[in-house]
Chain A
């Protein structure tokens, strides 16, 4: 099926459509798609539900609230608001401002999160940048350069208060592994890395480092070991 024969899907207002193969998808308003989406670019502004997965050959841009009853695969995923995926997330770059829930692994070369998230699988990226607002959770975090800091934004800022529940700003993950690991406000059982910095607010069970370990006086590390 050549791209030239595909039509665009444009939804405005309160509308529904069947899933399928489209060139470009635009969802403005309250949209519901019955089925999976296979498309080029996907733009959503408002509230949307996709009853299936999303496979985009290009970018998925969400402004609002999106619920996907499946996974998502795209070149670029940009979310401002709230997104939940019942499957795994995969892209070259993922950017999130708001809240993300993934019932599977979430992987990209670059991931930038400002907000709160719950990844039920592995959160992995070559460059993982997390600015926390409220709670962040992942089953495992792994990659090249991992940075976790509390965001300067307040939980009560207008931008986020609708989508982020008011919980303590903290990232909880049993295992974090990377080459450069820079953490603040993290609770983890095990942290492994080459250059590791355990910053203020951290509560870590075990740190194993290869080259360098820095522990802030306001951090708790039960045991540490050089590999």
Chain B
């Protein structure tokens, strides 16, 4: 069964060297999304857990930036879908948003003056990551891009994970809610599991 790695609040505080006060403050300021707090009853009482690969980079970023920005400014920077961002195609390579290859494969048909919204940049960034990491083929990248364009809107705030399955040479793309668990038949392999939130952070850093 594929399950996202969770880290308990206690472990997190220790790992990142932060306090309860800080964590609750950041929750109040919405620097950490509400749905990242997963509550479970363990034999030691009520405990909170977080998706490890989401919370650790987020806290690293907060610790990194909190001395330069107020918490409110920081919250604004981390808000998903900064929808008023629009960029012409010609700016993409300059700003290092996506690699040249990705642009050639997926935006070849667009003119240099085509404007891309944050959402479109986000999807391109996600596919770029997958290609760079060598985890998907160009065709699979196209499938992922199409799936994102058609289905990502169903997830509030874009909180979903991209999963690519392969079985007997056929690829299948799935978008699931963050932190979901699944099970598949033995002949199916999950090649990729990428939370869109990570791509969002990535993209925000480049903007």
Tally of B interface residues using CB under 8 Å: 13
B10 at the interface (CB under 8 A from A): yes
| Cβ contacts B1-28/A at 8 Å (1 or 0 each) | 0000000001000100001110111011
Most buried by A among B10, B14, B25, B45: B45
Q: Are A178 and B44 in contact (CB under 8 A)?
A: no
Q: Are B44 and A206 in contact (CB under 8 A)?
A: yes
Q: Are B20 and A194 in contact (CB under 8 A)?
A: yes
- In the bound complex, residues from chain B placing their C-beta under 8 Å from that of A208 are 10, 44
Q: Are A126 and B45 in contact (CB under 8 A)?
A: no
Give the contacting residue for B19; candidates A90, A109, A124, A144; CB below 8 A: A144
B113 at the interface (CB under 8 A from A): no
Beta-carbon contacts under 8 Å, A119-145 to B = 124, 126, 142-145
Q: Complex Cα distance A189/B47, Å?
A: 11
Beta-carbon contacts under 8 Å, B69-84 to A = none
Interface size class, chain A: 20 to 34
B111 at the interface (CB under 8 A from A): no
Q: Complex Cα distance A109/B22, Å?
A: 11
Q: Complex Cα distance A208/B46, Å?
A: 12
A190 at the interface (CB under 8 A from B): yes
Looking at chain A's contact residues, the main secondary structure is strand
Q: Are A143 and B46 in contact (CB under 8 A)?
A: no
Q: Are A179 and B28 in contact (CB under 8 A)?
A: no
Q: What is the distance, in angstroms, from B125's C-beta to the closest C-beta of chain A? A: 32
- In the bound complex, residues from chain B placing their C-beta under 8 Å from that of A143 are 20-21, 24-25
Q: What is the distance, in angstroms, from B189's C-beta to the closest C-beta of chain A? A: 40
A174 at the interface (CB under 8 A from B): yes
Q: What is the distance, in angstroms, from B9's C-beta to the closest C-beta of chain A? A: 8
Give me the 3 closest cross-chain CB pairs, A-B, nearest first.
A144-B21, A190-B45, A142-B24
New A-B contacts (15) at CB < 8 Å, excluding given A107-B28, A145-B21, A177-B20 = A108-B28, A126-B21, A126-B25, A142-B24, A144-B19, A144-B24, A174-B46, A175-B46, A178-B20, A190-B45, A190-B46, A192-B20, A206-B45, A227-B10, A227-B14
> 27 pairs across A/B with beta carbons < 8 Å?
A90-B28, A108-B28, A124-B24, A126-B21, A126-B25, A142-B23, A142-B27, A143-B21, A143-B24, A144-B20, A144-B21, A144-B24, A145-B21, A174-B46, A175-B46, A178-B21, A178-B24, A179-B19, A179-B21, A189-B45, A192-B10, A194-B20, A205-B45, A206-B45, A225-B44, A227-B10, A227-B14
